[in-house]
Amino acid sequence: MKPEEIKDLIMKSLSSESSPDDLRDKLEDAGVSYTFSDGFNDKVLDRLFKPAVVINLDTERSWNRAFYKIALSGAAAIVILLISIYVSEGTFSLDSLLGLSSGSDESIVSLLTGM
């Protein structure tokens, strides 16, 4: 069947004046059959009620190990950054954390406005 014919059949099935028997006859005349293999219903029901995702214990452990490695390296990078700020600026003020300690307010305003 052509896609246009299938679309017409679907649109006709939505109207209340068409009967399902007429549509079924048209589909059978076009060579479409509704026969399924033996055990089809059981296979579908088994697939529906089967747990979708099964995570084994080894996979969970490997994810945990990867997370801890990433978290520890991130924490180490933050500590190194804080130490370098303290060494270069001598304090942990907001200006030193933002890198604004060496400039004055007028120079910051002129840098932001472009004047």
Whether residues 35 and 61 share a domain: the answer is no
Number of domains within the chain: 2
Whether residues 73 and 97 share a domain: the answer is yes
Whether residues 10 and 39 share a domain: the answer is yes
Q: What is the model's pLDDT at position 68?
A: 93
Q: What is the model's pLDDT at position 106?
A: 63
The per-residue pLDDT for range 24-68, each reduced to its tens digit, is: 777 777 777 777 788 888 888 888 888 766 667 777 888 889 999
CB contact set of 97 (below 8 Å; sequence gap of 6+) = 85
Which single residue is written with the structure tokens 């004055």? 104
> Which is nearest to 102 in space by CA: 81, 83, 78, 85?
85
Q: What is the model's pLDDT at position 78?
A: 93
What is the pTM assigned to this prediction?
Answer: 0.38
Residue type, 89: E
- Domain span holding position 77: 57-113
